[in-house]
Amino acid sequence: MKHFILLVSFLWIVSRPAVAQEVIYATQDSVYINAVEAALKALKEGDCTTCLAQYKRAFLVNHTSALSTLRAAVCAYQCQQQELALVYLKEALTLDWEASEYLWEEHGEIPELAPLRTSALATNFESFLDERKIAAGRNPSLERELAVILEADRTPRLKIDTLGREYGFDSPLAKTVWKEIARADSVNLPKIERIIKKYGYPGKSLVGEEQSMTAWLVVQHAALAIQEKYLPLIQQAAEQGELDKSCFALLQDRIRVFKGKKQLYGTQVDRSPDGKTAFVPIEDEPNVNKRRAEVGLPPLEEYAKDFGFEYVVPKE
């Protein structure tokens, strides 16, 4: 079913597993560890004075952790020491701006940063972050533009996934959302083509890991002629490390399937009218996992489980 196949690339993106987190201290010095643990405990209990004192104690031993520095900024803010909070925010970004950005955006994982995210200091954080990105050759304005495009692509597809599973992908409710998707795609594609014309492929070095996939995703959701037009550019971006090779693999499979050919990497899944889910036919199927490994994709057996069915690679 075409509608189901169209969701594969999007669902693969949003369902990529999160990396497990573990406690890794900046140093194994016991004074430092005891101080940061006491500071975090005080932060969670709302004791900003103790929190600040313990982080200051820890930073005398070692001051290389962006996370601890961001947490210290929260303590300073809660103690109404805004200038100190700004100092800590800037220090966190100086220590590791990429880690700081990730931690800032991981709302569910680092909830203790919420007071800062919703404060007036959030604007300062974004300004400091932009300075760091520009110094590293990134384009934060373009990054934000791509983030808006990505959200426009993502929102209706999340909706259709929910409705499709409950009522069917061809139900009246789903048909309404398919129209929303078509409208979003018709608006997004000209924006992406304009960006590509101006910058070339907007890859990791220009817009970062997450937004490096936005242009690819919009192309992936476009008509076959558009997919074929940009396939060489996307292949080049993948070969140069500007885009994950797995993205090129998904687009290549999508094009082959639309042209009635067998796919190479097993990324495309179809659902028959009776509700049975299976992979679209695969070229040289016994060796599919070798090809998948070359582009950073997991074994096909694991991929099948994401779509709710069992699969075994056939033998030679």
- The number of distinct structural domains making up the chain is 3
Question: pLDDT digit string (tens) for 32-81?
Answer: 999 999 999 999 999 999 999 999 999 999 999 999 999 999 999 999 99
Same domain, 121 and 147: no
For residue 21, is pLDDT > 80? no
Same domain, yes or no, for 303 and 292? yes
Do 129 and 162 fall within a single domain?
Answer: no
Residue 19 lies in a domain: no
Give the tens place of pLDDT for each residue, 233-255.
Answer: 999 999 999 999 999 999 999 99
pLDDT confidence of residue 17: 43
Distance CA 83, CA 89 (A): 10
Q: Is residue 22 included in any domain, yes or no?
A: no
In the predicted structure, residue 22 carries a pLDDT above the cut 70? no
What is the C-alpha to C-alpha distance for residues 260 and 253, in angstroms, rounded to an integer?
Answer: 11
Task: From residue 232, give the alpha-carbon distance in Å to each of 109, 248, 253.
Answer: 38, 9, 14
What span, in angstroms and rounded, lies between the C-alpha atoms of 68 and 255?
Answer: 47
CA atoms of 311 and 267, how far apart (whole Å): 13
Rg, the chain, Cα only: 23
End residue of a domain, out of 195, 211, 241: 241
- Mean pLDDT, range 149-171, rounded to an integer: 82
pLDDT at 164 over 80: no
Same domain assignment for residues 129 and 144:
no
Q: What is the CATH number of the domain that holds 131?
A: 1.25.40.10
- Looking at 115, 135, 155, the residue that finishes a domain is 135
Q: Which residue has the higher pLDDT, 16 or 176?
A: 176
On whether both 107 and 142 belong to a single domain, the answer is no
Instruction: Indicate if 120 and 174 belong to the same structural domain.
Output: no
Cβ burial 187-209 (10 Å sphere, 16+ → b, else e):
ebbebbbebbeeeebbbbebbbe
In terms of domains, do 236 and 143 share one? yes
Same domain, 90 and 167: no
What integer pLDDT is reported at residue 23 of this predicted model? 60
Are 128 and 65 in the same domain? Answer: yes
Burial classification of residue 158, based on how many CB atoms lie within 10 Å of its CB (0-12 exposed, 13-18 middle, 19 or more buried)? middle
6 has pLDDT over 70: no
Per-residue pLDDT of 205-227, as tens digits, reads 999 999 999 999 999 999 999 99
pLDDT for res 8:
53
2-29 average pLDDT score:
55
Domain range holding 308?
244-316
Residue 64 lies in a domain: yes
Over residues 256-261, mean pLDDT: 96
Per-residue pLDDT at 264 exceeds 60? yes
Residue 142's pLDDT band, with cuts at 50, 70 and 90, is: very high
Mean pLDDT of 162-178: 76
